[in-house]
Structure 1
């Protein structure tokens, strides 16, 4: 593996971006009071855009559900400060209901896109992803939503249609639902969350979501590859506190992650940059049709350019990292865990 693995990757027709992009953060579906973290997010976005100005087209991933549109407005503020930027922006729809009877009801998708474009000071989105599988009773809104998304793509308001893919802890029912929606929607791109701690979903017959996307010729966007900062030397207790298990299980999870991080540090170095390199490259080199997006407003701040990725991992290094991640996953993904539980630390 050489530096050519950092070449731009094709997500969809006429949509080619760098393999490492940025995200405005995680979903917060309830409105919040004035946010002290705004300054951190704005600073991270500005630094990321400045770093990427001369380094190819970068993907910026956000959603209307990220703090109920507030994150979109912050992104738009920074984009407006960078006229002539080369950023391709992706957003999502399907979580925020507003005053409509359902997030997908009537012309809701089109209306929300108009609001999203206004928030972002853009005329088009590179990628618009359907974030929820709930299309109303009997899927009453599904066909109209498909028609709206295709029309928006035909009109040039979006360049690619996205669909959220299942996580590795998804139930069989959820996975079947995804496969059915994939056949009906025929998206251009799949979006999911994955990391060394919780890998890409297995869709059956040993095929994971990355191989599935490659086989169908669609792009793949992977969010949270640093497990919300845990794989960047972040606080393990923050992730464990959100783990949907008993206190005893959380203790085992904390121990497994802590020991795994120590093993990675012994193998690759203890600096956050060394851990980040392993976490990102272990995905990028295994899933060569994927683009990763990492948050810019988290506690762990890093450079968002190719220097973050460092040199490629050798086959021996990949194997060593895989072995450590497998040991952690053997605790995280115990068979008795509820498959439908929230993917808290993906």
Structure 2
């Protein structure tokens, strides 16, 4: 990639942001319980937004389900302090029910957006993402929700409609559901989680979520690209906590991840910033229509954006990193747990380093 590879990326019409943004996290703890993370989140937000060291706006990703709106209010506190921050804010809807019969019932989407904007001290969201695939019995709320979302976009209260994409471990049924919703909703942006430990979902016919998004001309927001800090030298047990249902041997996983990080450190440097650069660059250079968001409380945020991303990885460096990540994944996810991603005969594609099927797709 060229030195301009860190130029802002287009996520949707009239929405361009820097390739590395920040997230308020995914905790869903009760907001009434005092949280020591509050100070850390506020400090992290101020630090990375003050370090405006790149051209274009930065994406700040949050959700109404993050501690039941508490994270939104913390973000709003920081944005109110400094109205000159160059930031575009994205949030989500579909998990918080409140007193309504369903999170998507009636005018719930519009009402929740009003609350979200109030929490954030904003009059517009960059992206409003439908976080849940549950639209009630027989999808009774789907068409009204789509109508509301398009009206909100037309009115300028949101700039882009988002849809949560499937994850690496999604079932074939979940992937079919996503494809159906994508056709019916026609979102501007997709949101997912992925990293070297958890690659983008395979949608069949040799196409992952990144190439699918590019083919359809929609943006892609990737959260947790550092696997909750593990790929920046953080505690390995955080990777296990992220996938509590895996039946892989915990000791073997810890050993494989530790050894893999040691291999990366031997080649690229052992500092958290050096390790983070490899994990982030490997995604950004492979998925050039994506924007990554990392948690503001993570230690690697000490050097954000250009200082954290550093120079591009060479093709040889990308291949070396891919090999290490593939070995970690092979231990973390046993073959039977990775369906449909690893069903059938398996080959490693040299241009991506990701394992793909050669048997016919079941889509």
- Deviation, 1:85, is 2.1
Partner of 2:356: none
- Give the corresponding residue for 2:152: 152
- Using the TM superposition, name which of 1-10 and 247-256 deviates more: 247-256
Aligned residue in 1 for 2:117: 117
Confirm whether residue 101 of structure 1 aligns to residue 101 of structure 2: yes
Match of 1:92 in 2: 92
2:60 aligned with 1:60, yes or no? Answer: yes
Q: Which has the higher contact order (CA 8 A, sep 6+)?
A: 1
Change (3 A) 1:245 1:256: farther
Q: Please, what TM-score do these two structures have when normalized by structure 2?
A: 0.90
Q: Which residue of 2 aligns with 1:238?
A: 238
How far does the alpha carbon of each residue in 1:239-298 deviate from its partner, in whole angstroms, 9 at most, with x for none? 224533477622221121111111111111111111000000000000000000001023
Q: Deviations over 1:176-232 (max 9, x none)?
A: 000000000000000000000010000001100000000000000000000000011
Between 210-219 and 229-238, report the one with greater CA deviation: 229-238
Q: Is the aligned partner of 1:218 residue 2:206?
A: no
TM-score (norm 1): 0.95
Q: Cα–Cα, structure 1 residues 106 and 82, in superposed 2: closer, same or farther, change >3 Å?
A: same
Q: Note if 1:334 corresponds to 2:312.
A: no
| Separation of aligned partners in 2, 1:194 and 1:128 | 20
Alignment of 1:107-186 (within 5 A): 107-186=107-186
Quote how far apart the aligned CAs of 1:29 are.
5.6
The question of whether the paired residues in 2 share the 8 Å contact of 1:197 and 1:328 is answered with: yes
Aligned length: 340
Consecutive aligned runs of 4 or more in structure 1 exceeding 4 Å deviation? 245-248
- Where do 1:235-314 residues align within 5 Å? 235-245=235-245, 249-298=249-298, 300-314=300-314
| 1:76 alignment counterpart | 76
- Structure 1 runs not aligned, ≥5 long: 341-346
CA distance in 2, matches of 1:246, 1:152: 40
C-alpha distance in structure 1 between counterparts of 2:203 and 2:31, whole Å: 35
1:86 positional shift: 1.7
Deviations 1:111-147 (A, max 9, x none): 0000000000000000000000000111010000000
> Following the alignment from structure 1 to structure 2, what is the Cα–Cα distance between the partners of residues 314 and 244?
35
Rounded to whole Å, the distance in 1 between the matches of 2:182 and 2:290 is 18
Aligned residue in 1 for 2:204: 204
Structure 1 CA distance for aligned equivalents of residues 126 and 252 of structure 2: 42
Q: Which secondary structure does the structure 1 equivalent of 2:302 belong to?
A: coil
Q: Which residue of 2 aligns with 1:6?
A: 6
SS at match of 2:175: helix
Instruction: Give the alignment's Cα RMSD to 1 decimal.
Output: 1.6
Bigger mean CA offset, 161-170 vs 79-88:
79-88
2:256/2:331 contact within 8 Å kept = yes
**Which 5+ residue runs of structure 2 have no aligned equivalent?**
341-363
Alpha-carbon distance in structure 2 between the residues aligned to 1:80 and 1:53? 21
SS state of the match for residue 160, structure 1? strand
Equivalent in the alignment of 2:351? none
SS at match of 2:307: helix
Distance across 2 between alignment mates of 1:33 and 1:148: 34
Contact in 2 for aligned 1:230/1:239 (Cα 8 Å) = yes
